[in-house]
């Protein structure tokens, strides 16, 4: 796949296609990012509009935030493979449905240093392939209101919520009103209950790509190294 300035790439964690969590997440958002197909959503009032933003990105947890490439596709993939080769598979901590910064999301029931280490490695290990943000992108990020440390992360790594500011989450909605939270939280808890009861391992990282005007999709999965 050639590098294009209109293309963004990201490293995400997303469960295996056969995992019931993938099936539940795809159904909730209404799209399968692996097959690039739409999926029927549960009959919850307003769900298509509430999930329109995360629909674009697919069901995932961010490790290396989306970026434009300054180098070739193959160079980026080699860097991602080097990151994966340095990390052994590990158990994913239990997840729970929660409201995070006003958004509905799946998050860790307890912080995992292994997940944090994987995300940090994905950011550091691929950063030299990142095209630096222009003034317009910096202004757009800062408009959200960043702390001094987040602004430092933005300038150094191109995104404010990495390394010490990173938190594992799998976004399930846009920002919700209080009334929407009261209605949607129990619906999501019921929808994901069976899938979240299953224990799972982190065995790979997924390369997601986006061409201009299109949704992100999975281009490649890269396995973690058993003997790392």
**All structural domains of the chain:** 8-223 (3.90.1140.10)
> What is the pLDDT of the chain when averaged over all its residues?
95
Report the C-alpha gap between 95 and 157 in whole angstroms. Answer: 27
Q: How many CB atoms lie within 10 A of CB 126?
A: 25
Length of the chain: 228
3-state secondary structure the chain: CCCCCCCEEEEEECCCCCCHHHHHHHHHHCEECCCCEECCCCCCCCHHHHCHHHHHHCCCEEEEEEEEECCCHHHHHHHHHHHHHCCCCEECCCEEEEEECCEEEEEECCCCHHHHHHHHHHHHHHHHHECCCCHHHHHHHHCCCCCHHHHHHHHHHCCCCCHHHCCCEEEEEEECCHHHHHHHHHHHHHHHHHHHCCCCEECEEEEEEECCCCCCEEEEEEECCCCC
If pLDDT is split at 50, 70 and 90, which confidence band does 144 have? confident
Edge-first strand order for the sheet with 8-13 is 61-68, 8-13, 204-210, 217-223
Consecutive H or E run containing 142? helix 135-142
153-187 pLDDT, tens digit per residue, is: 999 999 999 999 999 999 999 999 999 999 999 99
- Which pLDDT score is estimated for 170? 98
- Which pLDDT score is estimated for 34? 96
**Percent of the chain with pLDDT strictly greater than 70:** 97
pTM of the model: 0.94
If pLDDT is split at 50, 70 and 90, which confidence band does 203 have? very high
Q: Give strand pairing partners of 68.
A: 8
Q: Is the pLDDT of residue 2 over 80?
A: no
């Amino acid at each position: 796949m050639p590098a294009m300035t209109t293309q963004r790439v990201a490293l995400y964690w997303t469960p295996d296609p056969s995992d019931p969590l993938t099936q539940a997440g795809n159904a909730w958002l209404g799209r399968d990012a692996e097959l690039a197909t739409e999926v029927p959503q549960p009959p919850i009032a307003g769900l298509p509009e509430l999930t329109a933003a995360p629909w674009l990105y697919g069901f995932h947890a961010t490790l290396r935030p989306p970026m434009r490439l300054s180098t070739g596709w193959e160079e980026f993939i080699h860097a991602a493979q080097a990151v994966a080769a340095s990390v052994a598979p590990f158990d994913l901590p239990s997840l729970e449905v929660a409201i995070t910064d006003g958004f509905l999301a799946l998050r860790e029931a307890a912080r995992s240093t292994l997940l944090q280490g994987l995300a940090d490695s994905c950011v550091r290990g691929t950063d030299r392939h990142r095209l630096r943000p222009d003034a317009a992108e910096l202004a757009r990020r800062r408009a959200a209101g960043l702390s001094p440390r987040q602004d430092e992360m933005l300038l150094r790594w191109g995104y404010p919520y990495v390394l010490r500011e990173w938190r594992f989450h799998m976004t399930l909605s846009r920002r919700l009103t209080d009334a929407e939270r009261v209605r949607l939280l129990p619906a999501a808890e019921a929808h994901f209950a069976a899938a979240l009861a299953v224990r799972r391992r982190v065995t790979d990282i997924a390369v997601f790509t986006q061409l201009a005007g299109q949704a992100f999709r999975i281009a490649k999965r890269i396995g973690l190294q058993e003997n790392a």
